[in-house]
């Protein structure tokens, strides 16, 4: 009973979605290390801050960072597409639509700029909750790539998922 009250209170708290900056990129790095099987280097995060064609956010509950997303626009099969590089929410804060809101904000920002006509991403084939999340958001599995992940990740296979804007 007490747990249900806590969940209701958390759902009522406003989550703030801030831009990625020189002052907070390390927060995204920590969130990704805690949430994702791939470890990204420091230059990856620095490039997120410097490149204006990237759509990145950090989610805060009050002043506590609880999630992050990083996206960029790139050419994909002859069209401009927003590629979701990373998205993660700390386990305690999942199921409160934090990832959905980060995804929606990044898509809206990219659409406002008129930079992309689609979105694509890779997701580990064993990550069933992420696959369901993306399917609920309108993504479809386009193909399965064998041995996509090279860094001792099991399984190493990934689904390529796609959505038209």
The distance from CA 14 to its chain's CA centroid, rounded to whole angstroms, is 19
Tell me, yes or no, if 60 is annotated catalytic.
Answer: no
* 32-47 per-residue burial string, b: 16 or more CB within 10 A, e: under 16: beebeeeebeeebbee
C-alpha to C-alpha distance for 78 and 74, rounded to whole angstroms:
10
Q: From the candidates 40, 76, 93, 122, which is the catalytic residue?
A: 122
- CA distances 158 to 103, 122, 123, Å, are 20, 6, 5
Known catalytic membership, residue 122: yes
Options 55, 60, 83, 134, the catalytic residue: 83
Q: Which residues are catalytic?
A: 83, 122
């Amino acid at each position: 009973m007490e747990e249900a009250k806590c969940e209701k209170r958390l759902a009522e708290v406003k989550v703030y979605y801030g831009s990625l900056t020189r002052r907070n990129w390390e927060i995204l790095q920590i969130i990704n290390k805690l949430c994702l099987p791939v470890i990204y280097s420091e230059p990856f995060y620095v490039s997120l801050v410097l490149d204006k064609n990237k759509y990145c956010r950090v989610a805060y509950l009050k002043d506590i960072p609880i999630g992050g997303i990083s996206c960029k626009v790139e050419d994909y099969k002859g069209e401009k597409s927003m590629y979701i590089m990373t998205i993660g929410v700390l386990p305690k804060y999942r199921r409160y639509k934090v990832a959905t809101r980060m995804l929606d904000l990044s898509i809206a920002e990219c659409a406002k700029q008129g930079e992309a006509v689609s979105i694509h991403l890779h997701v580990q084939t064993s990550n069933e909750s992420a696959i369901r999340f993306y399917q609920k958001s309108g993504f479809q599995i386009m193909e399965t790539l064998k041995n996509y992940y090279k860094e001792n990740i099991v399984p190493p296979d990934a689904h390529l998922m796609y959505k038209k804007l």
